[in-house]
Amino acid sequence: MKKKKIMIFAISGTIALSALFAPIGTRTASAAENSLVEIAKSLIGTPYKWGGTTKSGFDCSGFLNYLFKREKISLPRTAAAMYQRGTPVSRSQLRTGDLVFFKTSRRAPVTHAGMYIGDGKFIHSSSGRGVAINDINDKYYWGKRYVGAKRILK
């Protein structure tokens, strides 16, 4: 019985110390990532509205601005300008909360943006469906139009 109590105490102490000495930025980013995904998913079905930045309707960059403002992070107003911010991330290194970018028309190198939510999925506001989740590797549409990703959360 004494050995069992000592073992439980040792395990509890190890867990507590590892949480105490974990990099602060990692814990903060993880909390922010979870919060962003939770808020984003609660907005699924919100209609698309060109220039929209509120729950009554979002365009792609307005949606991301709305989310990141909740974490006190300011983003540029357009997908193209957002693409100039943050740290580049390879597709294989995507993490929840990373911004993902696409070229959906010929008018500019970057014309659409969303937020990666894990498991090969991203959430965004599209003109066809409003706020929705799609597969980033969709071979028929999004996968072909993927431009890159940027990490905003550290």
Quote the pLDDT of residue 8. 40
pLDDT tens column, 2-49: 544 444 444 334 333 333 333 333 335 688 888 899 999 999 999 999
Specify if 64 maps to a domain: yes
Inter-residue contact 114 to 135 (CB < 8 Å): no
Average pLDDT over residues 94-122: 96
Average pLDDT over residues 139-153: 96
Neighbours of 41 (CB within 10 A): 12
Inter-residue contact 68 to 29 (CB < 8 Å): no
Specify if 12 maps to a domain: no
The CATH number that applies at residue 81 is 3.90.1720.10
Specify if 11 maps to a domain: no
Amino acid identity at 79: A
Specify if 7 maps to a domain: no
Backbone φ and ψ of 131, nearest 5°: -70, 125
Given a cut of 50, whether residue 74 has pLDDT beyond it is yes
Q: What is the pTM of this model?
A: 0.80
Count of the separate structural domains present in the chain = 1
Q: Are strands 130-135 and 121-126 parallel, antiparallel or unpaired?
A: antiparallel
Provide the 3-class DSSP secondary structure of residue 106. coil
**Cα–Cα distance between 116 and 134 in angstroms, integer?**
10
Q: Of 60, 110, 123, 149, which residue is the catalytic one?
A: 60
Domain that holds residue 82: 30-149
| 124 annotated active-site | yes
| 60 annotated active-site | yes
Specify if 8 maps to a domain: no
Specify if 131 maps to a domain: yes
| 112 annotated active-site | yes
Q: Of 59, 67, 112, 115, which residue is the catalytic one?
A: 112
Average pLDDT over residues 79-105: 97
Given a cut of 60, whether residue 76 has pLDDT beyond it is yes
